[in-house]
Amino acid sequence: MKALVPVKRVIDYNVKPRVKADGTGVDLSNVKMSINPFDEIAVEEAIRLKEKGVATEIVAVSVGPAKAQETLRTALAMGADRAILIQTPEGAGSEVEPLGVAKLLAKVQEEEQAGLVILGKQAIDDDSNQTGQMLAALLGLPQGTFASKVEVEGDKVSVTREVDGGLETVKLSTPAIITTDLRLNEPRYASLPNIMKAKSKPLVQKTPSDYGVDVAPRLETLKVAEPAGRTAGIKVADVDELVTKLKAMGVAG
């Protein structure tokens, strides 16, 4: 089966985001950008399925500005076979919302007919946690969200999910949509030769209008602000002083 892996270009997870002074958004100029960590896990899972002989081809797809090509090249260097970039304008206010992305991915899936679409559970910029579920809804396919284990068994896929109280396992018919949780796998590093090879792998460029999808935002961002800061705390010298504080707060007897 074919595996389709959507990836997103986001602020690097180690960077502390700075809110712009005018409250219009987060300042992304001259900030290190990377592949969304959950998407890296999705690419890795697809590659492992290919190495097991389950997946035959891995198609990476990204919706974003021209620079999202770098993110797709990362996926290609890890082991994806080809890539599709659905290019959108750059800059604040032009981000495509999860609903728009899901509609575009639904069109791509209709063309590609992948057996599995593997996405990250959430992007670390908008923290929405929606796209995979929305894609499954639009296609009328089952969803295995927050996956920590994926096993393909014939025309079914068994997915162990990280849920609030622990783990649960569901069995889905294929094609299915899977979203990855952190513990699904440890993504590999792309080696230098593979990074070089990735440069010659096919990357097709499209636009939302090629798919006839309206990606106009449904949510209007009125303001982006820093969270309320915490007032500076104190340091205590020893355990006795800490115990006194805890007792004063009424949490220790």
Partner 1 sequence: MKTLVWVEHDNAVVKDATLATVTAASKLGEVHLLVAGSGCGAVAEQAARIAGVGKVHVADDAAYANALAENVAPLVVELMGHHDAFVAPATSNGKNIAPRVAALLDVMQISDILSVESEDTFTRPTYAGNAIATVRSKDDRKVITVRGTAFEKAATEGGSGTVEAVASTGDKGLSSFVGAEIAKSERPELTSAKVIVSGGRALKDGETFEQLIFPLADKLGAAVGASRAAVDAGYVPNDYQVGQTGKIVAPEVYVAVGISGAIQHLAGMKDSKTIIAINKDEDAPIFQVADIGLVGDLFKIVPELTEKI
Residues paired with residue 16 on neighbouring β-strands, in sequence order? none
Q: Measured from the CB of residue 126, what is the shortest distance to partner 1 in angstroms?
A: 5
- DSSP secondary structure, 27-92, as one string: --TT--EEE-HHHHHHHHHHHHHHHTTS-SEEEEEEEE-TTHHHHHHHHHHHT-SEEEEEE---ST
CB-count exposure of residue 48 (10 Å: 0-12, 13-18, 19+): middle
Among 44-52, 53-61, 144-152, 190-198, the segment contacting partner 1 (CB under 8 A) = 144-152
Question: Which one among 1, 65, 129, 206 touches partner 1, defined by CB under 8 A?
Answer: 129
First vs last C-alpha separation in the chain: 61
Taking CA atoms, 86 is separated from 38, 49, 111, 127, in Å, by 20, 25, 14, 21
- Among residues 54 and 101, whose Cβ is nearest to partner 1? 101
Question: Which one among 86, 116, 135, 150 touches partner 1, defined by CB under 8 A?
Answer: 135
Using CB under 8 A as the binding criterion, the count of chain residues that bind partner 1 stands at 82
- 36 lines the binding site for partner 1 (CB under 8 A): no
Taking CA atoms, 153 is separated from 28, 49, 62, 73, 172, in Å, by 43, 12, 28, 31, 10
Question: Which one among 4, 134, 150, 152 touches partner 1, defined by CB under 8 A?
Answer: 134
Question: Which one among 3, 5, 7, 11 touches partner 1, defined by CB under 8 A?
Answer: 11
- 214 lines the binding site for partner 1 (CB under 8 A): no
Q: Measured from the CB of residue 226, what is the shortest distance to partner 1 in angstroms?
A: 7
Preceding amide of 175 cis, omega within 30 = yes
Q: Give the CA radius of gyration of the chain.
A: 21
Within residues 106-125, the interface with partner 1 by CB under 8 A covers 121-122, 124-125
- 227 lines the binding site for partner 1 (CB under 8 A): yes
Question: Which one among 137, 153, 196, 205 touches partner 1, defined by CB under 8 A?
Answer: 137
Q: Measured from the CB of residue 247, what is the shortest distance to partner 1 in angstroms?
A: 8
Contacting residues for 177 by C-beta, under 8 A, at least 6 apart: 116, 117, 119, 132, 133, 135, 136, 139, 141, 142, 143, 144
- 182 lines the binding site for partner 1 (CB under 8 A): yes
Taking the C-alpha atoms of residue 198 and residue 3, their distance in angstroms, rounded to an integer, is: 18
State both tokens at 240.
Answer: 């006795």
Among 19-27, 49-57, 79-87, 193-201, the segment contacting partner 1 (CB under 8 A) = 19-27
- 163 lines the binding site for partner 1 (CB under 8 A): yes
Indicate the residue type of 185.
Answer: N
- 233 lines the binding site for partner 1 (CB under 8 A): yes
Within residues 69-98, the interface with partner 1 by CB under 8 A covers 97-98
Among 1-9, 80-88, 178-186, 192-200, the segment contacting partner 1 (CB under 8 A) = 178-186
- Among residues 9 and 161, whose Cβ is nearest to partner 1? 161
